[in-house]
A = this chain, B = another copy of it.
Amino acid sequence: MRIGILNVTGYAGLELIRLLAWHPEMQIVAITGRSQAGKSLGEVFPFTGLFPNGGLAAMTITEDITTEVDLVFSGLPHKASAEALLPFIEDGIPVVDIAADFRLHDPETYQEWYQEHPCPEYLESAVFGLTELHREEVQQAKIVANPGCYPTGAILGLAPALAERLIPPAVIVDAKSGISGGGRSLTLTNHYSEVNESVEAYALQGHRHMPEIVQELSEVADTDVQVTFVPHLIPMTRGILATCYATLARSVTQQEVDDLYHARYADEPFVQVLAVSPKTKWTYGSNHCLIHPVVHERTGHLIVTTAIDNLVKGASGQALQNANVMLGLPETMGLEAKPLFP
């Protein structure tokens, strides 16, 4: 299959390169970039010369995809992403958008958090690509909106409890993210000396990923779910830990909760329920989401911790997982990488 990647010089695009280097059925045939167009991939990222099919390092970064492709991934920022994907969508070519443009079903909500939507007519047919929740729709989709990095862990961690009405529709998500979540652009929030040896909360009045969590958890719970979401910046490159808090709606034992979660995710290749609280490092470089639900008897709360690698399950790995499903390939193909520990 012939694959195009929009914006290969950001971290989402670069991570796709790493993952697709393993993929036996997908072949990268076009890579775009903006400021680096005209250079070879190897000039921008010298280590890509280590990749097989040395061809990759020699491939030229172009401004647009001009060759025929069977699927397009977009690693562009929002708005630019929808605009660049539009021609492919109109041609009926499957696309996976790692940006936010097709995640929210409601164009008004999109406009509230981003800007006016460039092509709202496609929102209805787009599928929110949290594969574990929407696998069958992804199979049929031409447009898959890859979830945000924060929503991925939060939704997977809370969905089983909300679906079973184990908790009322009001949750708190305290999320801790590595710095790579902020991308490769140059800002003080990813300046080494500013963020190293420091932790901070941000977007306390509301983060753009919040409406995604609300949308998906409300669908799972079949009622409006109130989400208090506070993201934090942590001095590490990769990983998101989400600590989720909710009041238990009824008395329940730890064993019952464990059984519920294990049953929900028993057949999922990329979700694992653990008996101990996960370190984000246990997912470093892999496409897994690790989940640990806890019945906090003292206060009657359910606490769920989830860990992912924000660039893999939180971005490019999940994009590939979706693409595999869209193209009828085995879902885990090319995603066999094990976490790098330590």
Contact = CB atoms under 8 A, between A and B. Distances in A.
Contacts of A187: 186
A338 B305 contact: no
A173 B197 CA distance: 21
A21 interface: yes
Interface string A234-251: 111111010101000000
A255 interface: no
A284 B180 CA distance: 16
Contacts of A115: none
A220 to B, nearest CB: 19
Interface in A179-197: 179-180, 184, 186-188, 190-197
Which of A234, A239, A297 neighbours the largest number of chain B CB atoms within 10 Å of its CB? A234
Contacts of A305: 201, 204
A178 B294 CA distance: 24
Contacts of A278: 46-47, 200
Interface stretch (A69-77, A130-138, A269-277, A319-327): A269-277
Number of copies: 4
B284 A340 contact: yes
A283 interface: yes
Size category, A interface: 35 or more
A276 B180 CA distance: 23
A303 B186 contact: no
Interface string A303-342: 1010100000000000000000000000000001111111
A227 interface: yes
A236 B198 contact: yes
A243 B236 contact: no
Given A281-B198, A338-B21, A190 B188 contact: no
Contacts of A206: 298
Interface in A1-47: 11, 14, 18, 21-22, 45-47
A193 B176 contact: no
Pairs A-B, 3 closest by C-beta atoms: A198-B281, A47-B282, A186-B186
Given A172-B245, A199-B241, A201-B241, 14 more contacts: A11-B193, A18-B339, A180-B192, A180-B193, A196-B197, A197-B236, A197-B237, A201-B243, A202-B277, A204-B294, A205-B297, A228-B296, A238-B342, A337-B337
29 contacts: A18-B339, A21-B338, A22-B338, A47-B290, A49-B274, A50-B272, A50-B286, A170-B299, A172-B172, A174-B174, A176-B234, A179-B193, A190-B193, A191-B191, A191-B192, A194-B281, A197-B237, A197-B280, A197-B284, A198-B281, A199-B241, A199-B280, A199-B307, A200-B279, A201-B243, A204-B303, A205-B296, A232-B243, A285-B340
